[in-house]
Chains A and B, each alone.
Chain A
Amino acid sequence: MNADMASGAILASFLLLLLAFTSVGLFFAVGMIRRLRHERDQLMHQEEVIFGFIHDVADVFAYSDHIDLDRMLDRVLFYASRTTHASSAAIFLYEKEDQAFHARAISGLFPPLQGQVEASLSRAVSKSQAIHDLVRSQVIHQGEGLIGEAADFGSAILIEDAERDARVPQYELDFLHIRSILLVPMRFMQKTMGVMAVVNRIDAKPFSQTDLNLLQALADQASVSIHYAGLRDTLDEKKRIDHDLTVARQIQTALLPRSIPAFEGIELAAFNDPAQEVGGDYYDFIQIDDHHLGMAIADVSGKGIVGAIMMSISRSVLRAQAETSLSPSEVLKGVNRIMFEDISEDMFVSMLYMVLDTRTRELVVARAGHERPAWCQAQDRSFTIIDSRGLALGIADQDSFDLAINETRVHLEPGDVVIAYTDGVTEAMNAQAEEWGVERLLETVYPSAPHGANAVLNGVREKLARFVGSVEQYDDMTLLALRILS
């Protein structure tokens, strides 16, 4: 009997212990699942935003040929609000007549950004209509307030916590309250034509850097359309074709970086020589964080407007993806995943994407079907072609692409030069139908490498110009050079 009781007690305590362990384990497991689920949701959300954005951009452009400016702007605002989850948005355009900015399109209850308005509002019957009319009637002079600031400096303003920022007007009325605000300039060909602003995310979170990037990309596209909206109607068919090529060219030019980011200890240079027929090359420098620089060079297979739109989509997608990882092959996988779904099966983009750690001078290279970059080492004056496996973007499904691509790491030393180029450079032809070729390119880079990244570029341009002579080139020529300072 005693023995039975004892064994019963042991069994009971064993069961209790087991229960305790299982509960602790279960507790941690539930926590972990919850965390993983949260991470998955965040990733899915991010992807959804970018995916939606691409469709939106394509949509805005698809119809911009035959709709008027106001309808186009309304559409842009609709997508701007949807992409950034803003509760209200507005586009302010610069008018030549009075040299000031006016709200040309408004979506939602956009609060006036020039303060002191509540007295007049308290008498209004329909408050929302009164606010709309007020914002519409305000004249914002150059350099005045947030709009003037964004336009003058030509750069975006992101205010996460607007309540603590003296530049943002604060209102007693709840529906005018500004918690977070984001403004981006609308520029085209060195000219600021307006500012797009979004106010308060509907989920009460502040606007983020991702919102800023997407809104700026949308503003860049809209700027092109605004610029041409007035001209379009007067063009006949013949002119329209020439004009389309010009638009494509200008979209391309507008997409190239306006300035090259400055990093201590490195020197960067780039050029893009467009051909008669729009080729669809572009390059980009992306400052990922304080000591990581992303460098991209790409060639789109389509020509004309379609190629230019493809290029702008690739650029937006790459910029959004570049933030998510320091591994260039991972970034390109992300770009392909989005583009494969979205682009016509007959089109593709070859892209080289490299990430440089400016502290350690480690360069990681991934190649989506693009020309391999060349690395000129200062120490022994030797050339290495940096090779890695990969496939052009937009042509293979996720599994095939992910399997095909890898990345290569090299350690750069002071004085080293890395050049990346598009096939327009090496396939440039002279009157005898000879191609310039990689050999000649490398022979040109070699002597100018010690004199800096710009010297390398100038050397290539000179030699190339002498080689082709007066023969018209059919493909764009793009080259970028990176040099580690001694």
Chain B
Amino acid sequence: MRECLIKREERDDLDIVRLDGALDSYSFPRLETALNELRDSQRHQVVLDCGGLDYISSAALGALIGFARRSREAGGDLKLVKLSPKIFNIVELLGFHKILEIHTSVEDAVNKFNA
């Protein structure tokens, strides 16, 4: 499986985290570190760009939900954008589209945060 590259872009009050590769139990800790750093610096509004993501393990999905919940508790959110049909199917099968906010583009998610 491909390594997962993680890029972070700051845009005013929110952060866009772009993923490229596969998110499994080996690569997830790196994303976890990145998200934890954001939280520690009180940045709770995160857009997770999954456009380059070709795999996500169920454990990683569970952890994303944990992050989203904690962000909401701090007044922010973790929104997912640009899910491939395959990954959207997994999310939908698990019913997580009812828990996580999902958008088709980064701009949609950014607008939602600013609304």
Interface residues of A (CB under 8 A from B): 299, 301-303, 344-348, 350, 368-372, 389-392, 395-396, 400, 404, 423
Q: Which residues of A contact B65 (CB under 8 A)?
A: 345-346, 348, 395
Q: Which residues of B contact A369 (CB under 8 A)?
A: 93-96
Complexed CA–CA distance, A369 and B94 (Å): 4
Q: Using CB atoms, name the residue of chain A closest to B67.
A: A346
A176 to B63: give the CA distance in the assembly, Å. Answer: 54
Q: Which residues from A are CB-within-8-Å of B99? A: 391, 395-396, 400
Given contacts A371-B93, A372-B93, A390-B95, 10 further A-B contacts (CB under 8 A): A344-B66, A345-B65, A346-B63, A369-B93, A391-B96, A391-B98, A395-B99, A396-B95, A400-B98, A404-B98
Chain A's interface: helix, strand, loop or mixed, by majority?
loop
User: Contact at B58–A299, with CB atoms within 8 Å?
Assistant: yes
One of B25, B69, B94 near A392 (C-beta < 8 A): B94
Interface pair A301/B93, CB less than 8 Å apart: no
Which of A302, A345, A371, A390 has a CB less than 8 Å from the CB of B59? A302
A390 to B94, CA, bound (A): 8
CA distance A243 to B59 in the complex (A): 22
In the complex where A303-B59, A345-B65 touch, is A404 in contact with B95 (Cβ < 8 A)? yes
- CB-contacts of B59-114 with A (<8 A): 59, 61-63, 65-66, 69, 90, 93-96, 98-99
Give Cα A301 to B24, complex, Å. 12
Contact B98–A350 (Cβ < 8 Å): no
Could you say which residues of chain B place their CB within 8 Å of the CB of A302? 59
Residue of B at shortest CB range from A396? Answer: B99
Can you offer 9 A-B residue contacts whose CB atoms are under 8 A?
A299-B58, A301-B59, A301-B61, A303-B25, A347-B62, A369-B95, A395-B62, A396-B99, A400-B98
In angstroms, Cα B63 to Cα A345, docked, is 8
Q: How far is the CA of A99 from the CA of B66 in the complex (A)?
A: 51
Contact A391:B58 (CB < 8 A) given known A345-B66, A345-B69, A346-B63: no
Given A299-B58, A301-B62: A348 in contact with B25 (beta carbons within 8 A) = no
Q: From residue A282, how far is it (CB to closest CB) to chain B in Å?
A: 15
Cross-chain contact B62 with A348 (CB below 8 angstroms): yes
Q: Is the CB of B66 within 8 A of A350?
A: no
- Most chain A CB within 10 A, of B62, B63, B95, B96, is at B95
- 10 cross-chain pairs, A with B, having the tightest CB-CB distances, nearest first: A391-B95, A369-B94, A346-B66, A301-B58, A346-B62, A392-B94, A369-B95, A301-B62, A346-B63, A345-B66
**B94 touching A391, Cβ below 8 Å:** yes
- Chain B nearest CB from A397 CB (Å) reads 10
Q: Distance in Å from the Cβ of B64 to the closest Cβ of chain A?
A: 9
Residue on A with the closest CB to B61? Answer: A301
Distance in Å: Cβ of A429 to nearest Cβ of chain B: 10
B32 nearest CB neighbor, chain A only = A346
Report the separation of the CA atoms of residues A303 and B24 in the bound assembly, to the nearest whole angstrom. 12
Tell me how far the C-beta of B98 lies from the nearest C-beta in chain A, rounded to whole angstroms.
6
